[in-house]
Amino acid sequence: MTQIKVEHDAGGIAGLCVITANVHGDRRGYFSETYNKREMSEAGLDFDFVQDNQSGSSKGVLRGLHFQIKYPQTKLVRVIKGSVYDVAVDLRKNSRTYGKYFGIELTDENHKQLLVPKGFAHGFLVLSELAEFCYKCDDFWHPNDEGGILFSDPDINIQWPALDVPYILSDKDKILPYLKEAVLP
């Protein structure tokens, strides 16, 4: 029985996929298979994930937009607690959707995941009081290989949700360059 549903080319952007896991629930709670390599391969998503990461953040935290330059990563991202607005920006210079973004709300209730391929910047904004965010990567993190784009780049014009609290960014994320100035993968 298939445990996942895959929406290919989400937002009209080639390679970007929204994945929804089947959830089986009863009075005890629920069970969901969040990753199955065989089913992913059958859906044309054949990646060798080598690292799992998890972060916890409070409402208003905005992380991103991040990528690795020489060692780009495919990421499979999801929320296990709370809610985030998740964004991927196409950085592939030869793509017809270069500079275009796709945003989606990922929650612990909708069980959606976003597959962010190599060649994209990624970031998210926490919408709930707390959120726990998990993601798989198909390459290791290289601390001297970080790249990024300012979340408020007017050329990308991401429509981040308005919140009743100010956005909270790291010092590093506050000074990221615009897309037109960034060193890209």
Catalytic residues: 66, 135
Which of 86, 79, 75, 83 lies closest to 118 in space, CA to CA? Answer: 75
Phi/psi region, residue 181 (left: phi>0; alpha: psi -120 to 50; beta: rest), is: alpha
**Chain length of the chain:** 185
Give the separation between CA 10 and CA 100, rounded to whole angstroms. 12
**What span, in angstroms and rounded, lies between the C-alpha atoms of 173 and 153?**
12
Output the six-digit token pair for 97: 């959707």
Nearest-angstrom CA–CA distance, 132 and 126: 9
